[in-house]
């Protein structure tokens, strides 16, 4: 195996045309050839206790010597490697350069760009900052598309998958979007919460409208303890089913401040008031079921709900899609658990009506 000459060694040989060691270090600091990011002449001069003007003079005198024609196989190899890493995070590319011995240590890609431009090489790439993170190539437009797509998916489904974000964002963007870019853009968000070990499923905690969160809140507002398998079944009953693995639901619930995972159960550990979380026909239907022992035959339930002002269409939406209610038998509906639910406030409780429970 042929051992590569590290980029630092090659650039050091170019700076070797300068006689004074301090001048070599000053130029390396200014251009970012010492591994750190490039800096202004003022900053480089200050590091060596000289004025900006003196630093400018040193740099101006050094340029003709640095630009002397020379072969740069190490720089050319680095440029070829980076060109193939479009849409990747700069920090990841810098790490791979070191791992594959293109560089002897962490070397700033900004320093690679200054070397290419100063030595007359075409970089073939540029660097772009998005959300405080540097990427190879222009990612501003596609980055915004990824963030918008991720937020919409979380709003609609509660949680989302990286692969789905990649596929969905690519539909409205010319050119291929790499999965690594999607991960990198997502990780620029402070509200990102990974929900599985491989980092495929995630949640954005600042997205205010969240169907999954709403449905979990409803269930825990009524039941202070519920098996996760039952909760998974309950939140999936919707006109647009939430297809979320049970393990992901467990991780999601573990992130919530008002409940905790206890073995195979989810337990409420905060204040969830049914009076404020339940509303409309769902609140009235739950209150009626609670009055009648948690289960009722359909005809009696309909009679009581209609008498309490619940419209027929609304009642059927509740019976079909509410995470709190299920059909227990052909003509019997009741709560998803046999255990008594938490008390639903008197404001939601209609007047008792006749009916079989």
Write the secondary structure of 198-233 as one string of H (helix), E (strand) and C (coil).
CCCEEEECCCCCCHHHHHHHHHHHHCCEEEHHHHHH
At the topology level of CATH, where does 1-124 sit?
Arc Repressor Mutant, subunit A (1.10.10)
Closest CA to 91 of 108, 77, 115: 108
At the topology level of CATH, where does 140-204 sit?
Arc Repressor Mutant, subunit A (1.10.10)
- CATH numeric code, 211-270: 1.10.10
Hey, do 140-204 and 275-348 end up sharing a CATH topology, with the first three levels equal? yes
In order along its 357 residues, the chain shows pLDDT tens digits of 457 899 999 999 999 989 899 999 999 999 999 989 999 999 999 999 999 999 999 999 999 999 888 899 999 999 999 999 999 999 999 999 999 999 999 999 999 999 999 999 999 999 999 999 999 999 999 999 999 999 999 999 999 999 999 999 998 777 789 999 999 999 999 999 999 988 899 999 999 889 999 999 999 999 999 999 999 999 988 878 788 999 999 999 999 999 999 999 999 988 888 888 999 999 999 999 999 999 999 999 999 999 999 999 999 999 999 999 999 998 999 999 988 787 675 444 445 555 443
Closest CA to 326 of 353, 354, 298: 298
- Distance (Å, rounded) from C-alpha 351 to C-alpha 308? 7
Q: Containing H/E element for 266?
A: strand 265-268
| Long-range pairs, 298-306, Cβ under 8 A, ≥24 | 298/331, 298/332, 298/333, 299/331, 299/355, 300/353, 300/354, 300/355, 300/356, 300/357, 301/333, 301/355, 303/353, 303/354, 303/355, 304/350, 304/353, 304/355, 305/281
Structure tokens at 16: 């070797």
Contacting residues for 37 by C-beta, under 8 A, at least 6 apart = 108, 110, 111
Q: Structural domain boundaries of the chain?
A: 1-124, 140-204, 211-270, 275-348
Assess if CATH 1.10.10 describes domain 275-348.
yes
| pTM, full prediction | 0.82
- Distance (Å, rounded) from C-alpha 161 to C-alpha 339? 35
- Distance (Å, rounded) from C-alpha 183 to C-alpha 310? 46
Q: ∠132-55-110 over CA atoms, to 5°?
A: 30
């Amino acid at each position: 195996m042929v051992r590569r000459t590290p980029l630092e060694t090659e650039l050091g040989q170019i700076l070797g045309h300068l006689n004074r060691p301090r001048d070599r270090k000053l130029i390396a600091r200014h251009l970012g050839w010492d591994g750190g990011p490039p800096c202004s002449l003022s900053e480089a001069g200050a590091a060596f206790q000289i004025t900006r003007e003196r630093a400018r003079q040193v740099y101006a005198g050094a340029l003709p010597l640095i630009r002397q024609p020379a072969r740069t196989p190490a720089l050319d190899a680095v440029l070829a490697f980076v060109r193939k890493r479009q849409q990747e995070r700069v920090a990841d590319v810098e790490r791979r350069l070191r791992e594959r011995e293109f560089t002897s240590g962490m070397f700033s890609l900004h320093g690679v760009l200054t070397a290419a431009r100063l030595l007359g090489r075409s970089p073939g790439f540029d660097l772009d900052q998005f959300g405080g993170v540097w990427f190879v190539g222009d990612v501003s437009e596609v980055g915004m598309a990824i963030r918008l797509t991720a937020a919409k998916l979380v709003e609609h489904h509660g949680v989302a998958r990286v692969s789905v974000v990649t596929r969905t964002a690519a539909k409205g963007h010319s050119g291929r979007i790499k999965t690594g870019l999607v991960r990198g853009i997502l990780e620029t968000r402070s509200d990102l919460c990974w929900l599985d070990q491989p980092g495929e499923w995630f949640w954005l905690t600042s997205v205010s409208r969240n169907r999954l969160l709403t449905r979990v809140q409803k269930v825990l507002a009524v039941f202070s303890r519920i098996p996760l398998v039952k909760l998974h079944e309950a939140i999936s009953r919707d006109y647009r089913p939430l297809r979320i693995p049970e393990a992901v639901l467990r991780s999601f619930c573990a992130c919530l401040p008002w409940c905790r995972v206890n073995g195979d159960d989810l337990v409420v550990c905060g204040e969830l008031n049914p009076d404020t979380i339940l509303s409309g026909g769902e609140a009235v239907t739950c209150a009626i079921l609670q009055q009648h022992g948690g289960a009722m035959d359909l005809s009696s339930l309909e009679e009581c709900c209609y008498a309490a002002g619940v419209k027929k269409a609304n009642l059927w939406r509740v019976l079909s899609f509410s995470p709190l209610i299920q059909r227990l038998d052909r003509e019997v509906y009741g709560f998803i658990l046999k255990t008594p639910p938490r008390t639903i406030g008197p404001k939601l409780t209609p007047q008792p009506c006749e009916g079989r429970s």
